[in-house]
Structure 1
Amino acid sequence: MKLDLKGIAILAFIAGIVAFFLLAPAGGIKAAPAITLQTIDGQAIELEKLKGKPYLMVFWATDCPGCVKEIPHLVDLNQKLQGTGFRTIAVALPHDKEASIKAMRQLKGMQYDLVYDKTGEWSRAFGGIKVTPTSFLVNPDGKITRMQLGNFDFDQLEQQIRSMLKG
């Protein structure tokens, strides 16, 4: 009897994926780091104190075309979810300049929290961000439930957030 190693490898891969989705905790994979950020307006945001409501951490840059492309969608999402307790926190990476971040906010009407990670400390706390945009959706329990490299399907993201808000 001859073993089909390719077939066995495919079955093992499929079994691994099925096991991951069946065994992954429904409430999230990993706790968001308990760090305190500071917005470009000087407001402190303690992530630990955001428990109870979902939030979205978006690591971005003013020179990132994908980041700039998603700004209107983030603005729209925040307007739709205004008053629900949901927050978006956009963290600009160290290579950016504060003046550029403020100019982008003015130009694009970004009414959500903007943070400038001058030292890279906050991006390291989230695993060392290498690609922008990189986003983390954090549930009301403070667990990261989704990590997204690149742009979201914003309709799907909104539905996911709304289901978290329902409880």
Structure 2
Amino acid sequence: MFRRTVVALGLAALAATSALLAGCSAADAAPQSTFVLLDGSKQTTQELRGKVMLVNFWATSCTTCVAEMPRIVSTYEKFKGKGYETVAVAMSYDPPSYVVNYTETRKLPFKVAIDNTGAVAKAWGDVQLTPTSFLVNKKGEIVKRYVGEPDFAELHQLIEKLLAEG
């Protein structure tokens, strides 16, 4: 009995380690997603290839999301003319009227999408914690995942590096 328990625990540890390492691959492709924007138009990850992109999952009820939003805006303003895009994806539980109000009163200059069904968050690794952001390179590969507010100095350096790549 003891031996079976030890073997089972060893196999569980090996499986957990393998899962962690699988999540650390250098070039995970960004999922094929369709973002439904506030104006009703749609934008796909495929259409955004060739740009460096920040996909930010957020909610109007999330205090950290609201606190980081001015820095997300300034990051977008700094890099938008160089091939950088931001898509802010409001979580499925966020009332659309709140998202529209927040976007309009704060004059968010980038694409804002509403994930009504939760399908986009699910496709991006079943995102449940906000804010969660993904930095995607020009090839459509996820380079960095941030849970919580990013270190913006580090983020800016990484964006500059990715924009410089061919």
Flag whether TM exceeds 0.5 (same fold).
yes
Identity of aligned residues (%): 35
Q: How many pairs align?
A: 144
Moved over 6 A (4+): none
1:94 aligns with 92
* Residue-by-residue CA offset, 1:73-109 (whole Å, 9 max, x unaligned): 0111111112112111010011111110111112222
Q: Whole-Å Cα distance in 1 between the matches of residues 83 and 96 of structure 2?
A: 27
Q: Whole-Å Cα distance in 1 between the matches of residues 156 and 52 of structure 2?
A: 11
* Residue-by-residue CA offset, 1:25-81 (whole Å, 9 max, x unaligned): 3xx2x1001122110112211101222111010000000000000110011111111
1:47 aligns with 45
Structure 1 position 119, deviation (Å): 0.5
| Mapped contact 1:71–1:108 kept (Cα < 8 A) | no
Which piece of structure 1 moves more, 63-72 or 108-117? 108-117
Structure 1 position 24, deviation (Å): 4.7
TM-score by length of 2: 0.82
1:111 aligns with 109
2:61 aligns with 63
| Structure 2 alignment gaps of length 5 or more | 1-16
Partner AA of 2:33 in structure 1:
I
Which piece of structure 1 moves more, 115-124 or 44-53? 44-53
2:78 aligns with 80
Q: Name the Cα RMSD after superposition.
A: 1.5
SS in 2 for 1:131: coil
Q: Whole-Å Cα distance in 2 between the matches of residues 41 and 24 of structure 1?
A: 36
TM-score by length of 1: 0.81
Question: Pick from 144, 147, 164: which aligns with 1:146?
Answer: 144
| Structure 1 alignment gaps of length 5 or more | 1-15
SS in 1 for 2:46: helix
Assess, with a 3 A threshold, how the Cα gap between structure 1 residues 24 and 99 changes in structure 2: closer, same or farther.
Answer: closer
| Mapped contact 1:93–1:123 kept (Cα < 8 A) | yes
Q: Whole-Å Cα distance in 1 between the matches of residues 47 and 107 of structure 2?
A: 26
2:31 aligns with 33
Q: Whole-Å Cα distance in 1 between the matches of residues 106 and 137 of structure 2?
A: 27
| Mapped contact 1:75–1:109 kept (Cα < 8 A) | no
SS in 2 for 1:115: strand
